[in-house]
């Protein structure tokens, strides 16, 4: 028995794309929708609570800041992500602050996320609207199965990540656009534009999906003038949807920083509070055309750092490429044998929708690969790829059912095996117990509003809702560094003056240790960061905040040999100490900073494509002076008379780039480039 013949066979008279849709069709969809939701809930329960790094870094803070005005008391509390549009994270924050058990919160989020599978089913039924109803249902179920077997989707089910949340309106819009290819009308066009515009405002990486929607405009069954008219209407709807979702937050950003998209696009708006260098994360963007062409097959490999940070092997893109090539070869062979007859009626409409969907996916893939290459931002198109793959298989092998069923089974089996055995299912799994966050804050910190100067690549801004009302946060060291003389330095200094003497430093750990204790965090590390603002630690006034039910701290450290404090099995700690004015002579320290700045400036000018963005704040970490390069994930520093750098993501050996004294005398020559995704700089061999 074939898949089509043996599939669940409701009296599905069409669907959203079918002329014979009836009210009873909704009843037959209900079991499919319920099954998708139960599958998402079961997966979430079995995999446990997920604590991605970003949850602690900015997700909870974003929802908190959306509902509370933090502009006057916080500054880069979660680094640059502090000012991304926060509204997509409001549901997560609201559920956490309601005090619901963690399992309930994960279940509510999983219920919302399961609607992506509902839309996948509807899209599959839509593109197969001319086929018999049993075939439509079979294609829909197979597409849903393949969409669910996406490692990145599984990783995010029931979590705080907003990629699925914003993928839902994107996929709904593409369903409307696909329907419109068959029968162009203004209403679905307007709704599609509004949804894509709003999704882009909530997460700017969705802009590629909105732009790729123009592939549908180009393939509308209308004369050229009609396509242009619909294209203009689509642009207006996109703009309106974007404005509705972005305007409230963008207005605040313009008020406070002079850039409605702060800190993004600052090379255009040139706000004095952030670097004006271009920002572009190259982590997953192919370095060459060959790498770009190979990417669908590279994704098959169950290793990390291919198209996201975790292992997420995915067969669908390679299979879709191979199947598309087979379909093209079949078409050429049929054309060579005889002149093809023009398709009419429903079959022509179905082929036209598949063509439009395929062209849209191809354009979207190209834009996405150029813009980020991160598959967390490609989730709606993963569902589109699943629909296309199954629809093409059923169409290409319509008369060879056994072969079709075999291929479908093999694809689903391989993908399921890869998901079970080769993928990472959670970023940082934690058992379901208690509330999402259990933060134990000392009574003193609950009653007294302080300004917390936080240190660390992990900003730990999630503690903001648990501190005393009126407390402020500034993540000034470890991630995007802030200094008294750099962009935003005056704003930090003003906050320090306003809160003084209630200013504290906060860093991960149970204590701040003297340097001779050989433990982290070291006093010299903390004082070196505070010295930029003329402050130092008061070790006689320290308190500890305990956070329970979290995975071990994730922190990128730049110390060399001192061992970190062993983490507790179920508790993490943040230590906070009061700070005092540092009235000691800083002239020697400032001279060292100027010398390091000169060396690092020349290093950036020698390899501008490697060390970017340029001219960021230099940080003093112990005996090292360092800069972190967000675009290329590199850290460069001057220490013990040498210039060195290291890749923070790929790891590997520390690379030495000569003596600091040589760079101080004159710029040096370097061999710069990118190999296999990694940015490299080397001293010439003749040096």
In this prediction, residue 549 carries a pLDDT of 77
In this prediction, residue 343 carries a pLDDT of 47
| Alpha-carbon span 462 to 93, nearest angstrom | 10
Please give the DSSP secondary-structure letter assigned to residue 550.
-
Other CB atoms within 10 A of residue 333 CB:
9
| Alpha-carbon span 400 to 325, nearest angstrom | 18
In this prediction, residue 552 carries a pLDDT of 63
Chain-centroid distance, C-alpha 409: 32
In this prediction, residue 132 carries a pLDDT of 83
pTM of the model: 0.91
Q: Please name the residues in contact with 26: beta carbons below 8 A apart, sequence gap of 6 or more.
A: none
Q: Please name the residues in contact with 289: beta carbons below 8 A apart, sequence gap of 6 or more.
A: none
Rounded to a whole number of angstroms, the CA Rg of the chain reads 27
| Alpha-carbon span 269 to 261, nearest angstrom | 9
In this prediction, residue 556 carries a pLDDT of 41
In this prediction, residue 185 carries a pLDDT of 92
- Would residue 639 be called left, alpha or beta, if left means φ above 0 and alpha means ψ between -120 and 50 degrees? beta
Q: Which two tokens stand for residue 214?
A: 């123009």
Pairing state of beta strands 77-80 and 429-430?
unpaired
**Residue 569 burial (CB < 10 Å; 0-12/13-18/19+)?**
exposed
In this prediction, residue 269 carries a pLDDT of 95
Other CB atoms within 10 A of residue 557 CB:
16
Q: Please name the residues in contact with 41: beta carbons below 8 A apart, sequence gap of 6 or more.
A: 107, 110, 111, 114
Pairing state of beta strands 535-548 and 503-508?
unpaired
Beta partners for 620?
Answer: 625
Beta partners for 363?
Answer: none
Other CB atoms within 10 A of residue 63 CB:
25
In this prediction, residue 25 carries a pLDDT of 56
Other CB atoms within 10 A of residue 69 CB:
10
In this prediction, residue 534 carries a pLDDT of 93
In the Cβ-directed half-sphere of 295, how many Cα atoms lie within 13 Å? 23
**Contact between 435 and 100 (Cβ < 8 Å):** yes
Q: Which two tokens stand for residue 401?
A: 């059912």
Which stretches of the chain drop beneath a pLDDT of 70?
A: 1-27, 338-349, 552-570, 685-687
Please give the DSSP secondary-structure letter assigned to residue 435.
B
In this prediction, residue 4 carries a pLDDT of 41
Residue of 525, 527, 528, 468 lying closest to 499 (CA atoms): 468
Instruction: Tell me the residue length of the chain.
Output: 687
């Amino acid at each position: 028995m074939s898949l089509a013949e043996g599939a669940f066979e409701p009296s599905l008279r069409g669907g959203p794309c079918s002329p014979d849709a009836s009210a009873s069709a909704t009843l037959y969809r209900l079991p499919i929708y319920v099954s998708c939701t139960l599958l998402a809930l079961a997966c979430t329960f079995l995999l446990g609570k997920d604590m991605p790094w970003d949850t602690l870094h900015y997700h909870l803070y974003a929802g908190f800041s959306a509902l509370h005005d933090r502009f006057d008391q916080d500054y880069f509390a979660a680094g640059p992500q502090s000012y991304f549009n926060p509204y997509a994270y409001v549901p997560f924050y609201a559920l956490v602050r309601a005090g619901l058990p963690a399992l309930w919160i994960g279940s509510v989020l999983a219920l919302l996320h399961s609607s992506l599978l509902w839309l996948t089913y509807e899209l599959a039924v839509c593109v197969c609207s001319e086929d018999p109803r049993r075939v439509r249902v079979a294609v829909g179920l197979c597409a849903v199965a393949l969409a669910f077997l996406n490692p990145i989707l599984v990783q995010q089910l029931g979590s705080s990540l907003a990629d699925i949340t914003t993928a839902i309106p994107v996929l709904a819009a593409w369903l409307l656009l696909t329907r419109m290819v068959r029968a162009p009308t203004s209403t679905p066009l307007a709704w599609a534009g509004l949804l894509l515009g709003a999704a882009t405002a909530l997460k700017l990486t969705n802009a590629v999906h909105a732009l790729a929607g123009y592939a549908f405009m180009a393939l509308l069954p209308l004369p050229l003038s009609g396509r242009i008219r619909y294209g203009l209407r689509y642009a207006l709807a996109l703009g309106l949807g974007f404005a509705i979702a972005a305007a409230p937050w963008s207005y605040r950003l313009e008020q406070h920083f002079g850039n409605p998209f702060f800190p993004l696009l600052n090379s255009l708006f040139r706000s004095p509070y952030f670097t004006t260098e271009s920002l572009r994360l190259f982590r997953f963007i192919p370095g060459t055309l060959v790498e770009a062409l190979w990417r669908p097959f590279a994704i098959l490999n169950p290793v990390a750092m291919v198209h996201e940070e975790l292992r997420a092997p995915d067969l669908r893109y390679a299979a879709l490429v191979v199947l598309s090539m087979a379909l093209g070869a079949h078409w050429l062979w049929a054309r060579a044998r005889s002149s093809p007859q023009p398709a009419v009626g429903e079959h022509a409409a179905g082929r036209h929708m598949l063509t439009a969907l395929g062209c849209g996916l191809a354009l979207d893939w190209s834009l996405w690969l150029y813009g980020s290459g991160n598959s967390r931002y490609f989730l709606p198109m993963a569902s589109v790829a699943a629909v296309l793959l199954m629809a093409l298989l059923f169409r290409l092998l319509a008369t060879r059912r056994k072969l079709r069923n075999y291929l479908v089974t093999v694809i689903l089996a391989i993908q399921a095996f890869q998901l079970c055995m080769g993928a990472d299912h959670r970023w940082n799994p934690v058992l379901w117990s208690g509330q999402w966050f259990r933060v134990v804050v000392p009574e003193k910190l609950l009653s007294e509003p302080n300004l917390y100067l936080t240190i660390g690549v992990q900003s730990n801004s999630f503690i903001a809702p648990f501190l005393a009302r009126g407390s402020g946060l500034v993540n000034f060291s470890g991630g995007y560094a802030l200094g008294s003389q750099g962009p935003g330095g005056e704003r930090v200094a003003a906050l320090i003056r306003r809160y003084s003497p209630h200013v504290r430093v906060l860093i991960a750990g149970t204590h701040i240790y003297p340097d001779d204790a050989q433990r982290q965090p070291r006093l010299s590390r903390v004082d070196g960061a505070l010295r930029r603002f003329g402050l130092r630690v008061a070790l006689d006034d320290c308190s500890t905040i305990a956070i329970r039910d979290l995975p071990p701290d994730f922190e990128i450290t730049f110390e060399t040999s001192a061992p970190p404090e062993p983490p507790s099995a179920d508790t993490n700690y943040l230590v906070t100490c009061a700070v005092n004015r540092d009235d000691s002579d800083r002239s020697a320290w400032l001279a060292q900073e100027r010398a390091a700045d000169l060396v690092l400036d020349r290093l950036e000018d020698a390899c501008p494509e490697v060390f970017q963005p340029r001219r960021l704040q230099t940080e003093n970490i112990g005996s090292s002076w360092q800069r972190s390069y967000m675009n290329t994930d590199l850290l460069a520093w001057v220490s013990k008379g040498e210039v060195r750098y290291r890749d923070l993501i790929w790891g590997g050996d520390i690379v030495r780039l000569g003596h600091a004294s040589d760079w101080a005398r004159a710029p040096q020559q370097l061999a710069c480039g990118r190999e296999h995704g990694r940015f490299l700089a080397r001293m010439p061999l003749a040096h």
